[in-house]
Structure 1
Amino acid sequence: MLEESPFKGKTGLQRVWNALHYSLAGLHAAFTCEDAFRQEALLAVLLIPAAFFLPVTWVGRALMIASVLLVLIVELLNSAIEATVDRVSLDRHHLSKRAKDIGSAAVLLALINVVSVWGCVLLG
């Protein structure tokens, strides 16, 4: 039998409340410590309101906003991977590089997705 984390154990509304605080702490950490997240958050601050002013269908608008939010989600995961790799070791290792490069590639694909979705919706 595998041991559970000693940090687990809260259930119900207390778990939801704790999860909310952990999530807000994660967003704060990403915004204060990760340049790429700040840049992509700025992109989101510009593009999401713009989506509401463009003459597109509600489905198109939803796709446009979802594609931007996906970039933030992928960047958060990439930053978590990078922090974990650095926590394990700051030594150069080909597997550490691979993990970081793959995370970066995921962000690149999410950004390409934004351009593709916005282009398809706007150009019809």
Structure 2
Amino acid sequence: MGIRGVFRSFSYALEGLRYALLTQRNLRIHTVMAAAALVAAYAGKFSRGEVVLLLVTITLVVGAELLNTAIEVTVDLISPEYNHLARVAKNVAAAAVLVTACNAVLVGILLFGPPLLKIVQALSP
């Protein structure tokens, strides 16, 4: 694959990301939360390791959401009428997003909890 092929591949990937952002409310919510977490990490002067953990967590959630979208669209294409197995496929894909989102909440508590607790304690009389 030449340089044109590489650029074409990136173009297709960005087209998919654009589609997902425009059509998937949860992906937009995850994106806003990710941006807020990164800003808070910067403001909180997180260590390099903490930022890496945050970036990996964000990537897992967004990646799972993108895969979920791809699976949902594919299932709808293949099986436009109701099918129990189509429903199972969609539910399992959604569960993957749920698992990564729960992990993100736990990582967020571990990373942001201690600094937030210090702020709350400092503000308490």
Secondary structure of the equivalent of 1:117?
A: helix
For 2:7 and 2:70, the matched residues in 1 are separated by: 22
Amino acid at match of 1:72: V
Distance 1:62 1:110, change over 3 A: same
Distance across 2 between alignment mates of 1:67 and 1:54? 18
Quote the offset at 1:33 in angstroms. 1.2
Structure 1 residue ranges (4+ consecutive) displaced by more than 6 angstroms after TM superposition: none
Which of these residues, 41, 53, 63, is aligned with residue 73 of structure 1? 63
Mapped to 1, the partners of 2:74 and 2:35 lie a distance apart of: 28
1:62 aligns with 2:48: no
Query: Structure 2 CA distance, aligned partners of 1:39 and 1:100?
Result: 20
- The whole-number CA distance in structure 1 between the counterparts of 2:46 and 2:34 is 18
Aligned to 2:31: 41
Which structure's residues are more often helix, by fraction? 2
2:35 pairs with 1:24: no
The code of the aligned residue for 2:71 comes to I
Supply the distance in 2 between the matched residues of 1:106 and 1:56 (Cα, whole angstroms).
28
Gaps of 5+ in 2: 115-125
| Match of residue 78 from structure 2 | 88
- Equivalent residues of 1:70, 1:110 under 8 A apart: yes
Q: In structure 2, what is the Cα distance between the partners aligned to 1:54 and 1:34?
A: 30
**Corresponding residue of 1:15:** 5
Q: Please, what is the CA RMSD of the aligned residues?
A: 1.5
- 1:29: how far off? 0.3
The alpha-carbon deviation at position 86 of structure 1 amounts to 0.3
Q: TM-score, normalised by structure 2?
A: 0.83
Q: 1:64-87 CA deviation, whole Å, 9 max, x = no partner?
A: 122122211110000000000001
- What number of residue pairs does the alignment pair up? 114
Q: Distance in 1 between matches of 2:52 and 2:64?
A: 18
2 CA distance for matches of 1:30 and 1:123? 31
